[in-house]
Structure 1
Amino acid sequence: MEIKDLQKIMQDNGVVGAGGAGFPSYAKLTDKADTILMNCAECEPLLKLHRQLLEKHAYEIMKTFHTVMETVGASQAIIGIKRSYVQTIKALQQHIEEFPGLKLHLLDEVYPMGDEVVLIYEATGRVCRPGGLPIEQGVIVFNVETIYNVYQAMESQKPVTEKYVSVVAEVEHPVTVKVPLGCTLDEVVAQAGNITTKDPVYFVGGPMMGRIGNGADPVTKTTNAVLVLPRDHQIVMKKQRTSAIDLKRAASICCQCNTCTDLCPRHNLGHPIDPARFMRAASAGDFRDVNPYIDSAFCSSCGVCEMYACPQSLAPRTLLADMKGGLRKAGIRPPQGVQPVPVQPSREYRKVPEERLMARLGLTKYDKDAPMDESVVPVSKVKILLSQHIGAPAQAIVKTGDMVTKGQMIAQHADGLSVSIHASISGKVTEVTDRHIIIAAK
């Protein structure tokens, strides 16, 4: 298969990164890659869907991953997987000899192993340039569900219309379910039985990098998990704090211990991100040296500084994110051509064990099995967003009153970086705007 043919399949079928920011996967394909890497590190605590999906569909995913490797002309395909995922590793080992050039790289149970910059270093020993792309190191990274979606597009011409989502924490039966894109978070959570806390909050994504969601929010191509948490849980309370107060707290109680920088995963890989230096400058209103502010662009927002490292429960990640957003609004771009310094020799001793992280976050009691159920959840209505990916939103090609069938293209990819969007249920189009399309089931 030619690269352009595989790119068309991915773009037409709406394949994007199934997690994170939803980068359109077709745009990653290039003959400049010598390595393709599959991320099965399950970066966030409590999430289980990638290991479950890879165990259940090991052959199909490996076959597709190998096809991608051959298509781009890479010399190796590496599956990065935590060594604790014993059953998934066994499923992979049954077929791995059938695919020359494909190998496993076993990873430690530390956070944030799923950060692609960290994963690339662990699996290949290569250090990505600050602000650079993996392809500069000859690497393309996909996650497990993305490759499974490529498999369905290639083998069955099936576009992305559904999403696997783990529902965990304060629910009666933690579960990983398959739901139509555009259904509500309430409908997803209902699949896990009764909620076991009186005043629940939906935390969408992982506990480290997720956000507080609303029950009416629609599921998108990047919705990986819903954590149902008590409103007074420390994770929820930290997320609800205001930056103005966080900055005043930093000015009054930061003890200058430097632990946020010592444990920063990107800093330890030689990137010029220094949370402690930034906190000192920001809390004092010191602008004599602007580098601590400019270098906020290189923060990955993993949350180690804020959720684990800081003994004073300060918010470096949040304040860094505010600074990044402010720089973008002001049209200030990250410095180009910055090269990393050598990897910190102490890096191996400054990794964050996931078991300890869960204990510190008050999540250990929620670390339970969440069995995968692949029967698609039936819903009566979906609200499908036209922008579920980085780049230009898809452009609607249906109008109110149209009847559509599941899998039918309802929005075509725009010019530039974009992918198409498809109906996730069959029914009648009841609303079309420049932001979403609503479909009511027949």
Structure 2
Amino acid sequence: MDIKELQKIVQESGVVGAGGAGFPTYVKIDERANTILLNCAECEPLLKLHRQLMEKHAYEIMKTFHMVAETVGAKEAIIGIKRSYTKAVKALEQYIGEFPEMRIALLQEVYPMGDEVVLIYEATGRVVRPGGLPIEEGVAVFNVETMYNIYNAVENQKPVTSKLVSVVAEVEKPVTVRVPLGCTIEDVVNLAGGTTVKDPVYFVGGPMMGFIGSGSQQITKTTNAVLVLPKDHNIVMKKQRKASIDLKRAASICCQCETCTDLCPRHALGHPITPHLFMRSASNKDFQDLNPFLHTMFCSSCGVCEMYACPQDLAPRSLMADYKGGLRKNGIKPPQAEAKPVEAAREYRKVPEERLMARLGLTKYDKDAPLDDQVVKMKAVKVLLSQHIGAPAVPVVKAGDTVAEGQLIAQPAKGLSVGIHASISGRVNEVTDKYIGIVCK
């Protein structure tokens, strides 16, 4: 298979990064990639779906990973996986001999190992420049579920119509389930037996980089987890803080200890991110040196500074995100910058995941969430037209149309975009500029 053929299949099948921002995967299938990297590091605490999927479908995923390597002409295919995922590692070792260009990179149980810039360094020793893309270093990174979706698109002509979601924390039975795209968070939580607390908060994504969602919110191609938490949990309280108050607190109690900068994973790789200097400049409205503000654009928002490092419980990540968003809104692009040498002390400043979970008050929620890989049936869905970075898909159906699961209901728009498909069979009851509603007959 040549590159253009594979790109077309992947784009038309609606494959995007199954987590994070959902970067359209067809763009990553690039002949400049001399190394491809499979991310099985489960960046966030409590997430389990990637290791579970790898354990169950190791051969299919490795076969597809090999095919992608051959298609782009990569010399090496590396599977980055935490050594603590023993069952998944054993599943990989069973087949690794069949793929001579492939190797397993065993990773430490530290956060944020799943961040692609960190993962690339750990697995290859290469440093992606500040603001740069992995392909500039000859690397393309895919996560496990994305690779499995490519397998289904190529081998089974099956587009992306469902998503694996881990439902954990304050639920009766933590589970990892496969659900149709466009069902609601409340639908998914009910599959875990319901909640165990009054007035639960639905935290979408991981505890470090996720956000507070609502029960009526739709599941998308990037929804990896729903954490059900009590409304007074520390993580929830931090997410509800106001920037104006955070700035005043920083002005009064930030002691410039530099722990936020010392423990910043990107700073340790030589990127010019200095949260302590940003906090000093922002809280004092000191704009003589603009670099602390401009360099927020290199922040990955991993949250180590805010959720783990700061002894004063300040909010550098949230404040930097606000400034970064403001800069982008006003058309400011990241400045050109080169990475400095990797910090000599980096190895001693990694954040152990076990300690992180204890600090966050999540240790008691670290339980098995068994995988059920059969798609759960739903009576109605609202499939969003924008589930990824780039332009929303363009509807090709109208209200009243009958559609079958897997049928194209919105075609890729011009530019960076992918197709959207019906996640259930039924009748289209609504088409808006945001979503397409489908109900079972």
Q: How far is the alpha carbon of 1:194 from its aligned partner?
A: 3.0
Aligned partner letter, 1:396:
P
**Matches of 2:293 and 2:89 in 1, distance apart?**
43
Q: Secondary structure at the match of 2:355?
A: helix
Which residue of structure 1 aligns with residue 67 of structure 2? 67
Aligned to 1:401: 400
Q: Which residue of 1 aligns with 2:414?
A: 415
TM-superposed CA distance for 1:377, in Å, is 1.3
Unaligned stretches of 5+ residues in structure 1: none
Q: Does 1:238 align with 2:231?
A: no
Note if 1:33 corresponds to 2:52. no
Q: Which deviates more, 194-203 or 213-222? A: 194-203
User: CA shift at 1:435, angstroms?
Assistant: 1.1
Identify the residue that residue 250 of structure 1 maps to in structure 2: 250
Distance across 1 between alignment mates of 2:310 and 2:199 = 28
Match of 2:199 in 1: 199
Q: What does the per-residue CA deviation read over 1:339-376, in whole Å, with 9 as the maximum and x for residues that have no partner?
A: 10000000000000000000000000000000001121
Aligned to 1:186: 186
**Rounded Cα–Cα distance in structure 2 between residues aligned with 1:162 and 1:177:** 10
Measured after TM superposition, the shift of residue 378 of structure 1 is 1.3
- For 1:21, the equivalent position in structure 2 comes to 21
Matched-pair identity in %: 74
Q: Give the secondary structure class of the aligned counterpart of 1:57.
A: helix
Equivalent positions of 1:347-426 (< 5 A) are: 347-426=346-425
Q: Distance in 1 between matches of 2:272 and 2:372?
A: 43
Count, aligned residues: 441
Partner of 2:105: 105
Q: Distance in 2 between matches of 1:329 and 1:78?
A: 37
Which is worse superposed, 187-196 or 417-426? Answer: 187-196
Is 1:314 paired with 2:311? no
Question: C-alpha deviations, 1:375-411, integer Å up to 9, x for none?
Answer: 2111111001000011111000000100000000000
Return the offset for 1:30.
Answer: 1.2
What letter corresponds to residue 119 of structure 1 in structure 2? L
In 2: Cα distance, 1:199 partner to 1:437 partner: 30
Question: Which residue is 1:114 aligned to?
Answer: 114
Query: What displacement does 1:330 show?
Result: 1.2
Which whole-Å CA distance do the structure 1 matches of 2:179 and 2:60 have between them? 21
Q: 1:343 is matched with which residue?
A: 342
Paired with 1:330 and 1:17, the residues of 2 have a C-alpha distance of 27
Q: Give the aligned residue type for 2:277.
A: R
**Structure 1 moving runs of 4+ over 2 Å:** none
Partner Cα separation in structure 2 for residue 194 and residue 163 of structure 1: 19
2:294 matches 1:294: yes
AA aligned to 1:205 is: G
Counterpart CA distance in 1 for 2:238 and 2:386 is 28
Q: Distance in 2 between matches of 1:258 and 1:410?
A: 51
Question: Once the 2 structures are TM-superposed, how far is the Cα of residue 118 of structure 1 from its aligned partner?
Answer: 0.1
**What TM-score does the superposition give when structure 2 sets the normalisation length?**
1.00
Tell me the alpha carbon deviations over residues 270-318 of structure 1, each in whole angstroms, 9 at most, x when there is no partner. Answer: 0001000000000110000001001000000000000000011100000
- Note the C-alpha offset of 1:211: 0.2
2: CA distance, partners of 1:7 / 1:197: 46
Letter in 2 for 1:154: V
Q: Provide, for residues 122-144 of structure 1, a one-character-per-residue CA deviation record: whole Å limited to 9, x for no partner.
A: 00000000000000000000000
The equivalences for 1:208-247 within 5 A come to: 208-247=208-247
Cα deviation, 1:8-66, whole Å, max 9, x if unaligned, reads 01000000000000000000111111100000000000000000000000000000000
Q: Distance in 2 between matches of 1:256 and 1:135?
A: 36
Q: Which residue identity lines up with residue 424 of structure 2 in the other structure?
A: I
2:246 is equivalent to residue 265 of structure 1: no
Structure 2 partner of 1:167: 167
Residue identity opposite 2:404 in structure 1: T
The amino acid of 1:218's aligned partner reads Q
SS of alignment partner, residue 192 of structure 1: coil
1-side partners of 2:110 and 2:375: how far apart?
Answer: 32
2:321 maps to 1:324: no
Q: Hey, what's the Cα distance between the residues in 1 that align with 2:198 and 2:70?
A: 53
Q: Distance in 2 between matches of 1:311 and 1:403?
A: 58
Q: Helix, strand or coil: the match of 2:202?
A: strand
Taking only aligned residues, the RMSD between alpha carbons, in angstroms, comes to 0.5
Counterpart code for 2:374: S
